[in-house]
Chain A
Amino acid sequence: MEKLGYILIGSVALLWIIAMVAGLIVVLPYGIIGLVILAGFGLLFAKVLKERLTSKEDDYYSKNVQQ
């Protein structure tokens, strides 16, 4: 049930981002401002996601510590 909830929310969030990017492309050249901001957020998100996925210390505490 929890995973299904994540999938539904994640799918809608992804569609929202796609719609946002499409809307910004439609209103080019002014949309370039929003696209640059989105690209900035995207790069920062990629950085934190990469750091989390490669952190063995975080994995250790997430998997081995319960309550």
Chain B
Amino acid sequence: MLLSTQDHFDDHEIAQTCGLVRGNTIRARHIGKDILAALRNVVGGEVTEYTKMMAEAREQALDRMIASAEALGADGIVGIRFTSATVMGGAAEILVYGTAVKLK
């Protein structure tokens, strides 16, 4: 599965548009990590607990979008965009979407 944030692939020609595909997830870390994150807020620096949480969410959302494209029989996804929203304290949503395409 080829992925691109551009509207096209430089080295492949798009033969057919399959439609919108998307994947999303909302993830949280356990309360112990939330306590650590709150303490990091006191001393400053990177909140690694939440960096990992967002990375997990990003990969899971991406995998779900790719599964959605595969179900349509697509070869690639163009125009990929990521969006993020806070749903509740200590949890975040990542939505990734794009246009599934078949290539020549």
Contact = CB atoms under 8 A, between A and B. Distances in A.
Contact of B51 (A6, A9, A57, A67): A67
Which secondary structure dominates chain B's binding surface? helix
Contacts, number: 23
Which secondary structure dominates chain A's binding surface? helix
A61 B59 contact: yes
Given A57-B60, A61-B60, A66 B55 contact: yes
B38 to A, nearest CB: 12
Interface of B: 27, 32, 35-36, 48, 51-52, 55-56, 59-60
Interface of A: 2, 5-6, 9, 57, 61-62, 65-67
